[in-house]
Structure 1
Amino acid sequence: MPAVRLDAELVRRGLARSRRRAGELVAEGRVLVDGTPAHKPSQPVSEAVAVVVEAGPAPEYVSRAGYKLDGALDALAALVAVPPRVEGAMCLDAGASTGGFTQVLLARGAAHVLAVDVGHGQMAASVAADPRVTVREGVNIRDLQAQDVEPSPTLVVADLSFISLTLVVPVLVGVSSPGADLLLMVKPQFEVGRGRLGPGGVVTSPARRQQAVLAVAEAVRSVGGAIHAVVPSPLPGPAGNHEYFLWATAPDGGRREVDLTGTLEDAVRTAVVDDRACQVRPPLRGVPRRLA
C-alpha cells in the first residue's frame, strides 16, 4: 500500500472521527508514529507503521447528561460502520436544561445547536455563550413546529422528563430533515406509568424497561422512522433508574442500512438484560398509522 497522509490514516484506522479531528490530535501532540510524536497531519505514513493516539484529559461537562451522551456516541462509533454524524450537523437539543447534551455536540464539531427547554435560566453560561448555540426557553417541545426550527435539524437529541417520548416523537420527526439522526434517551420511569414504579420511583423490572424502550421504538416506526440501535446509558438516572439511548432515523426512503444482527426485540433485550449496545436488523421501518 502506498504512503498516505497521517490524518487520512488516523480516520481509516478508526483513531479519529474526521480528518479535522485528526489534525487537532496531531496539534495536541497526542499522535505517535512508530513511537515518535507526529508534527504534521500531512506526514506520509504506510500501513505497516505503528500509529498510536495517546489519551487526553477527561472531558468536563456541565451535567451528568453530557457524560451519558458522550458515552452513547462512543458506543455507537464502536458498534457500527456509519454512526450518527455530529460533525457539521445542524442539531436540535430537546430538553436542553443545563446544556450537557449541547456541550457534547459542540465538542464533536456540530455546526449549530438549537437548545430548547420548557424551563428558564437553566443553561450554563459557558455553553449558552457559544456562537453556535441558539437557546429557546419556555418552549413546550410538543408545541414545536417546523417553522420554529430552521434550518431543519440533521441530528436530534432528546433528554426529556415527566413526559413520555411516545408523545414527543411525532413532533421531533416532523421538524427534522429527511433521514435525520435521532438519539433519544429513553427513561423508563416516565414511560411505564406511575403505578408501575418501584420504591423511590425506580423501574426495577427488566421486562418493564424493555417494554418502555419498545414503546418508544414503535412510536418512531409509526411515523415512518427506522430503528438502528439501542445503547444502555453509561450512567443511571439520579434515582438509580436504568436509561437507554435509541438511535433512529427520520423517514427518507431508505438512506442507510446496517448489518443484520438481530430483531428489535433482541436488541432491546440485549441492551436491558446484558447491558450491551446492539444493532437492529433493517428494514425496521414503519409507515404512519393513517397509511397502514
Structure 2
Amino acid sequence: MALMVEDDLLEEGKTLRGEPERPMGATGLVVVNEEVKPVLSWRLAMPKFIISSPYPIWWVNALTAHRNAQQTSMALQLSKFTLFRRCGWLTSADEVLFLSKQSQLSHYPVRWTEIHKSWQRRSFATLKSGKVIPAKKKKRLDEVCLEKFQQYSRNYIQSWIIQGKVIVDGKVVTKAGHPVSDKAIVEIKAEIPKYVCRAGHKLEAAIEQLGVDVTGKVALDSGLSTGGFTDCLLQHGASFVYGVDVGYGQVADKIRRDERVSVIERTNLRYLTELPQKVDLVTLDLSFISILVVMPAVVNLMKEEATLITLIKPQFEARRSQVGGGGIVRDPLVHQEVREKIMKGVEDLGFKCNGWIESPLKGADGNIEFLACFTRTVNSPLTTE
C-alpha cells in the first residue's frame, strides 16, 4: 500500500508559526515546497540515503530516500515507529523541510547523508555532522555491573540489585534486566565482600580454625564455580591455583583474569588424570557426587604429604531415604554418619584426618555442611606412579 497525499487536504502557504492543524486520519505532516502535506498511509522502504537535520522533529522524525536517476523515492519515519516508511515520489530539486517543536514550529532545511542498507532500523538521533553512527543497544543492568565491577560475581551483583543497592543515574533500580545505556552512571551502595562469593568464608574458617598453612602452595580447587575457594587460597598466600569445574562460564572475572589461576572448565575431576605439576593442596567443593568417588583421581594429582580440605555436604553423601523434603538433611545422627563415612574412606586411601568443623555458613538450600582437613601420609595403592 503506497503512501497517499491528498491534494484537497493541502494547506498551501502555511507558515506554521502556530501549531498546524492535523487533518483527520493523518499520521503526520511533511512540508514539500512550502506545502503542508498530510501522511495518510505508508509501506516499508529500503533506503540507501537519508536526509538529516540538526533540529528536533515534530511528528515527522526523518526522511529517507533511494536515489534513482532524476527521481528520488522518499521514505518517512514516524516518531512512534522504528521502521522507515515510503512517502511517494519527489525530485531532488524539491525543497524538503521538517516541522520542529522549537522556534515556533518554523521550517528547517535538511541535507543528504549516505547510509548503509543494513542501517534501515537505525534511529534518526544517531545522525551527527553528516555521519551515520549505528545505534547502540542498551545492556542489562547486571551485565553493565559485571563489566564495570569485575571483582564481583554475578550472584553478588544480582543480589544487590534486588536489595535496591544499585543506583542508576541517581535512581534505585531493582530489576537485573533493566536496560542501561553506555552513558548511564551506575553505582553500588553495598558492603564490599571479602571474596567473590560466600564459599570463600567457609574455606577461610577451615584454614584458620584447623591451622592450615597455604603460603606459597600450589593448589587444586575442584568445584571452582564462581571461585570463592580459589579467591580465599590466593588471599592466604597460595602461589598458584588450578581451578577445575564441570560447568562453564560461572567463574568471576576477578579469578579468571588472575595470572595465578589456571581455569579448567567442562572437566569432571573424576576423569582428570594429570596437571602440569603435582599440587601441595587440594580443596573440594563438590555437588551431586560423593567425595569418595573422586578421591582416586585426587590422589594421583597430589604430592606426598600434601593437604586436602573438603567441604562435606550431607545431602550428597547420605542415602536417599535420609534426605528430607527440599533436599534438606536435618537429623544430627545422619550428619555424624556422613562425617564418619567420609573420614574413614579418605583415611583408607593413605590420609590422616587433622580435624573437622561445622561450616559457619549453611548451603544455598539451608543444609548444614562440614569442612574436614587431611594430610597425605603414605603413597596410596591407587597411585599410578
CA distance in 1, matches of 2:216, 2:269: 24
1:200 is the counterpart of 2:326: yes
1:60 Cα deviation from its structure 2 partner? 2.0
**3-state SS, counterpart of residue 239 of structure 1:** coil
Structure 1: 5+ residue runs without aligned partners?
1-56, 77-82, 254-286
* Separation (CA, whole Å) in 2 of partners of 1:179 and 1:192: 29
Paired letter, 1:143? Y
Q: Is 1:103 the equivalent of 2:231?
A: yes
2:299 is the alignment partner of 1:173: yes
CA distance in 1, matches of 2:276, 2:349: 21
TM-score norm. by structure 2 comes to: 0.48
Write out per-residue CA displacement over residues 235-263 of structure 1, whole angstroms, 9 at most, x where no aligned residue.
0111111111110012348xxxxxxxxxx
Q: Identify the residue that residue 172 of structure 2 maps to in structure 1.
A: none
Q: After the TM superposition, which residues 31-180 of structure 1 pair with which residues of structure 2 at under 5 Å, given as runs?
A: 60-76=194-210, 83-145=211-273, 148-180=274-306
Superposed displacement of residue 59, structure 1: 5.0
Assess if the C-alpha contact under 8 Å between 1:98 and 1:122 holds in 2.
yes
Q: Secondary structure at the match of 2:238?
A: coil
Q: Are the equivalent residues in 1 in contact too, given 2:353–2:373 (CA < 8 A)?
A: yes
Deviation at 1:134, TM superposition (A): 0.2
Q: 2:336 aligns with which of 210, 218, 232?
A: 210
1:194 is displaced (CA, Å) by 2.3
Letter in 1 for 2:194: E
1:221 and 2:355 equivalent?
no
CA contact 2:207–2:213 (8 Å) conserved in 1 = no
Alignment of 1:259-270 (within 5 A): none
Note the residue ranges of structure 2 that are not aligned, 5 or more in a row. 1-190
Distance 1:243 1:200 in 2: 16
Q: CA deviation at 1:288?
A: 5.2
CA-atom RMSD, angstroms? Answer: 1.8
* Counterparts of 2:349 and 2:192, CA distance in 1: 39
Identity %: 40
Tell me which amino acid in the other structure corresponds to 1:86. V
Change (3 A) 1:58 1:178: farther
Tell me the distance in 2 between the aligned counterparts of 1:223 and 1:73: 22
Structure 1 position 152, deviation (Å): 0.7
Q: Which residue of 1 aligns with 2:188?
A: none
2: CA distance between counterparts of 1:220 and 1:170?
10
Report deviation, 1:113: 0.1
Among 197, 210, 234, the alignment partner of 2:360 is 234
Shift of the alpha carbon at 1:172?
1.2
1: CA distance between counterparts of 2:378 and 2:217?
17
Higher strand share: 2
TM-score, scaled relative to structure 1: 0.63
Counterparts of 1:231 and 1:170 in 2: how far apart (Å)?
24
Moved over 4 A (4+): none
Is the 2:218–2:280 Cα contact (8 Å) retained in structure 1?
yes
* Structure 1 residue 162: Cα displacement: 0.3
* Contact 1:166–1:215 under 8 Å retained in 2: no
Larger radius of gyration: 2
In the alignment of these two chains, the number of paired residues is 192
